[in-house]
């Protein structure tokens, strides 16, 4: 089956990756062979001492990247993408995107590049008897708690960039097991967040009376 026929029949699959310097869209055929691509270059910004990408830039980048893909498909195959068999989203793992009940972001997206979480990562590594890197989401949220940031008790959902895009496109607050492992350690026997670490973290933050437990705000694996 030709690439054009695959595209026109809606059998092509779209993968979109949010990298640190470029958003890439790759269209693949039924044999997983790339048949078209598009891209958008971007750079993170240092705002109030933290590396971030704005919500507006995230969506502009996604739209421009997909528009570039469509332009290239038109030029190469003289057809339009009207239907897809599937869409997959990947992005920089880790980081911190916290949303309130109104679904608005509470503080600017904190990327994996930020290293302000040293105290949190060290305390959690000792508590869990497991190395917790500075960039993991659990380090970010606990550092915000240690800092006494006023948005903490307003968190309704905590996710990564990939989880955010997937949520906005599908309405589902989920994350693949690989990306989820960069939020909180995964138990390989259950393929879910480590229950013992979950319990330890909830006990640790209980005196803060935040109004949530960690599984209340994390995406489903």
Hey, what domains does the chain have and what are their CATH numbers?
Answer: 3-89 (3.10.20), 93-217 (3.30.420.40)
pTM for the predicted model, two decimal places = 0.93
Q: In this structure, how many other beta carbons lie within 10 angstroms of the beta carbon of residue 115?
A: 12
Transcribe 40-99 into DSSP letters.
EE---EEETTEEE--HHHHHHHHHHHHHHHHHHHHHHHS------SEEEEEE--S-BEEE
pLDDT, mean over the chain: 97
Which tens digit of pLDDT belongs to each residue from 28-60? 999 999 999 999 999 999 999 999 999 999 999
What average pLDDT score do residues 8-17 get?
Answer: 97
Phi, psi of 205 (to 5 degrees): -95, -5
What average pLDDT score do residues 81-109 get?
Answer: 95
Q: How far apart are CA 70 and CA 79, in angstroms?
A: 9
Which tens digit of pLDDT belongs to each residue from 131-150? 999 999 999 999 999 999 99
Do residues 181 and 197 touch, judged by C-beta distance below 8 A?
A: no
Helical packing angle, 55-77 and 161-170, nearest 10°:
70
Q: Which band of pLDDT confidence, cut at 50, 70 and 90, is reported for residue 93?
A: confident
């Amino acid at each position: 089956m030709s690439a054009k026929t695959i595209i026109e029949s809606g059998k092509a699959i779209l993968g979109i990756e949010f990298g640190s310097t470029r958003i890439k869209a790759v269209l693949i055929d039924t044999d997983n062979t790339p048949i078209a691509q598009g891209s958008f270059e971007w750079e993170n910004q240092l705002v109030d001492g933290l590396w971030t990408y704005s919500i507006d830039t995230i969506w502009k980048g996604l739209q421009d990247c997909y528009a570039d893909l469509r332009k290239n498909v038109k030029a190469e195959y003289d057809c339009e993408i009207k239907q897809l068999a599937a869409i997959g989203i990947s992005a920089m793992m880790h980081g911190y995107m916290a949303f309130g009940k109104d679904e608005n972001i509470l503080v600017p997206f904190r990327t994996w590049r930020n290293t302000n979480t040293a105290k949190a990562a060290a305390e959690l590594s000792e508590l869990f008897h497991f190395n917790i890197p500075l960039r993991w989401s659990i380090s970010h949220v606990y550092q915000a708690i240690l800092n006494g940031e006023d948005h903490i008790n307003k968190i309704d959902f905590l996710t990564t960039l990939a989880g955010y895009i997937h949520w906005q496109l599908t309405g589902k607050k989920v994350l693949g097991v690989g990306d989820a492992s960069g939020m909180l350690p995964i138990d390989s026997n259950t393929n879910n967040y480590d229950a013992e670490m979950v319990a330890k973290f909830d006990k640790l933050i209980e005196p803060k009376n935040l109004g949530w437990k960690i599984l209340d705000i994390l995406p489903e694996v």
